Structure 1
């Protein structure tokens, strides 16, 4: 039996209404994103920041500190809200029990503290101490310095074009159901191919 052949992605994209320029952009952007994702998983910049700043924290603890601080530009609508253990867990996508353990470590080391809610004194919130704010401020400044060095070679015109486009692109994975609906016929072709490839010979 001959090996089933995955439908050409170019053909599927054309069927979905993409022109050659769009197809080329999709392939190039996907390659860049996959490479970026691998770098993000390694968290190279954060490792270097922790080392250069002499922080006695690991990456998970640093993530929790940032989630407690919750800069609006990083966490959108949840930035500025009262922060509880469950809020931290939701902001960085970890289990609440793990968030609770990490917060306990940060409280013990005086990077964070438990405080009463102004709206409801029965509710316990998490806040950064001065020590915690020093850390998050230093890490953010570290990132800004490196990024500033990178962008220093860009023209004002390049920056004015790049930033709105990057912001627009950052929403591409939202509303997945609508996007699925737009290309459902092509998805069904892929699903049929995968099903056929997994069938034992002779069936």
Structure 2
């Protein structure tokens, strides 16, 4: 396995990426892949629902949180009122799926429809007191665990992590194309070599 990484490091060096940068990228990728696998299984969400005894699935919880719109997640969302389309946008899901889940939550007494104060023709969605209590309990559970974990970190460690994590989280949104990065020819060659290999199978 290490030999394969060394081959990759050599390939990247020939593309103009320094070996120490590629080694850092390999380390980042390993951490992210392990994190992705844990996030995909939604360990924390399942634990919260289980330990708090909430009769919800994760999709319902996600919609309830999108209706609640906590500031740390949705502070950049200018919407003062939440419609089904707002929920869909916040969660990046299909509006019809958002509508089905909202309807189910309404049927269970966890959400309610109301008339917009800004436009009487528009229907908005709110949480009922029961729905609000569930969301607040889950958020308290989450930050008890996360806060407990970060309590062992020094202030410098916490202050260093957040801006770097925020910066790294936008790497795929940087807008830089392969051509702008001077890698278009390398990627085209890689594509051609792969096509030739696959053609022999």
- Fold-level match, TM-score > 0.5? yes
Cα deviation for residue 44 of structure 1 reads 0.8
* Alignment-derived partner of residue 82 in structure 2: 83
State how far apart, in whole Å, the 2-side matches of 1:179 and 1:138 are. Answer: 43
Q: Residue 86 of structure 1 aligns to a residue in which SS?
A: helix
State how far apart, in whole Å, the 1-side matches of 2:96 and 2:151 are. Answer: 43
Could you say which structure has the greater relative contact order, defined with CA pairs below 8 angstroms and 6 or more residues apart? Answer: 1
What is the CA RMSD across the aligned residues, in angstroms? 1.9
Q: 1:68 to 1:155 in 2, by over 3 A?
A: same
Q: Which segment is superposed worse, 141-150 or 87-96?
A: 87-96
- Structure 1 segments of 4 or more deviating over 3 A? none
TM normalised by structure 1 equals 0.86
* Alignment-derived partner of residue 192 in structure 1: 192
Cα deviation for residue 13 of structure 1 reads 2.9
The size of the alignment, in residue pairs, is: 193
Contact 1:70 1:80 survives alignment (8 Å): no
State how far apart, in whole Å, the 1-side matches of 2:71 and 2:178 are. Answer: 30
1:149 and 2:148 aligned: yes
* Alignment-derived partner of residue 3 in structure 1: none
Q: Which segment is superposed worse, 23-32 or 10-19?
A: 10-19
State how far apart, in whole Å, the 2-side matches of 1:92 and 1:154 are. Answer: 31
Q: 1:169 to 1:22 in 2, by over 3 A?
A: same
Which ranges in structure 2 are unaligned for 5 or more consecutive residues?
1-6
Cα deviation for residue 78 of structure 1 reads 2.3
TM normalised by structure 2 equals 0.87
State how far apart, in whole Å, the 2-side matches of 1:12 and 1:186 are. Answer: 10
Q: Which segment is superposed worse, 130-139 or 58-67?
A: 130-139
